Amino acid sequence: MLESVLACRLLEDDDRHPDALAGVRSYLRAVARGGGLTPLDRALLGMPSGRDPLAGFAHHTAGRKRLLMGAILHAAGAGGAPAPPSVPDAVGGLHTWKQAELTACRVIRDRAAGSPVAGHDLDALAGLLLKPRIFEGNHLPHLLFLLALRPYPAYRAAVRQGTDLLVATQHADGGFSVAESFDTWVTSIVATALSEAGTDRGSLARTADWLAARQADDGGWSYTPQATQTDMDTTYTAMAFLHHHDPARYAPHLAAGYAYVRGLQNDDGGWPTYRRGTPSEPAMTGGALAVLAQHCAPHAQQIAAGVRWLAASQRPDGTFERGWSLADGNAIFRAVHGLTAVRDRLPLPPPAAEAVEQALGRAADRLERTHNRDGGWGQQPGRASDPVSTGYALAALGLLHRPSRIPAALAYLSACRRPDGSFDAPADTAAPRPIPVDVPVLAPAYVLRGLARCGR
């Protein structure tokens, strides 16, 4: 939604793309009529928002997200000059597009505040717009580059080319998402679900070859073929699928993947999403442990360190920091997947084994306590049930051998399934965190993973 508003603002100042402008305006009208707007959507559309879009967002990225939200609202004409973030502006160590995105935010902020703008920052942003494709396939930073450079006549050529690139990637419904596509990430999740559910291997052979060919030189996978920045999130599901599908055929890819996962581990034992040295995250650590447990013996030391960090990161109520999801269940399932895979394949010393059992017990108790009366689970306690959150819970409970809630959950899913097999579910993914982005194809995939796990 926010990308479409920003694109509309840009296209209103460029008379070369009237059809694109009409398309994005039509999309925005349809979204506004449909209801269900987030506080940020309402602020961007000039409506009373009701609350701060970042209210309650306690995360290691919260400081720079304040700068990002301020720059977005200012660029959309919905806010004053962005305030300085609560953390320094340094971008070293961040992943590729986040470094460039924060540079654009800084330019927008400094110009709005009447402060000097660094010429080398403007040149760097122009260089990214003059590339033949949208930088890293990511619409949001690209839009911020355009908005940052738009007031400077010297960079008109870069803005024009960047606008042309943007229009070329407009979606069929007239809108723009946070990225051109999530093709690698989505394919890896859907393929993993189908493979775990027992889909014929021959049906997934082309998918496996396609995913294997998308592996980067560093051994990891990126969320889209357009990006060079690899991540633990996509690498987890890509490796889980290839190992489940045909570990012998893809042994070289898996070996390179193991090296990537080892190299990404932080000194504290956990794993971040993108780059070693940035904060470890429970969901990423759970995925990494699930991957390394496929080949335990050479990775016993890394696994033990990861288990210690993940168990220690669990909250007293059994949850973990949500990461890239809006649902508690996502990180719980990922942690349970990693810890049960390790427990079942690698003898742990007594203190570590006890920590694993305690963490798994707390996770199971949490899921059983938060089961809704209709049989499903919501993103957080008190929220209405939805199929995706229910899929997460089923997958975790299946791994935990806690079957008591499963029959009611199956009845809930059966009742809300559409005739074509899809499900109506709220947006679950956050990108950038904590802003929702809807990827409808993931709903049946997460449900299928849950059904496959609880059926074992």
Alpha-carbon distance of 327 to 413, in angstroms, equals 17
Count of all residues that appear for the chain in the document = 456
Nearest alpha carbon to residue 183 among 169, 164, 202, 165: 169
Alpha-carbon distance of 361 to 355, in angstroms, equals 10
Please tell me which residue in 14, 41, 231, 233 is annotated as part of the active site. Answer: 233
How far apart are the two ends of the chain, measured CA to CA in Å?
39
Alpha-carbon distance of 240 to 287, in angstroms, equals 9
Both tokens of 8, joined, read 């509309």
Nearest alpha carbon to residue 24 among 140, 169, 146, 156: 169
Contact 364, 402 (CB under 8 A): yes
Contact 150, 13 (CB under 8 A): yes
The answer to whether 233 is a known catalytic residue is yes
What are the helix (H) ranges across 76-214? 96-112, 119-129, 139-149, 156-168, 183-196, 205-213
Contact 178, 431 (CB under 8 A): yes
Residues classed as catalytic: 233
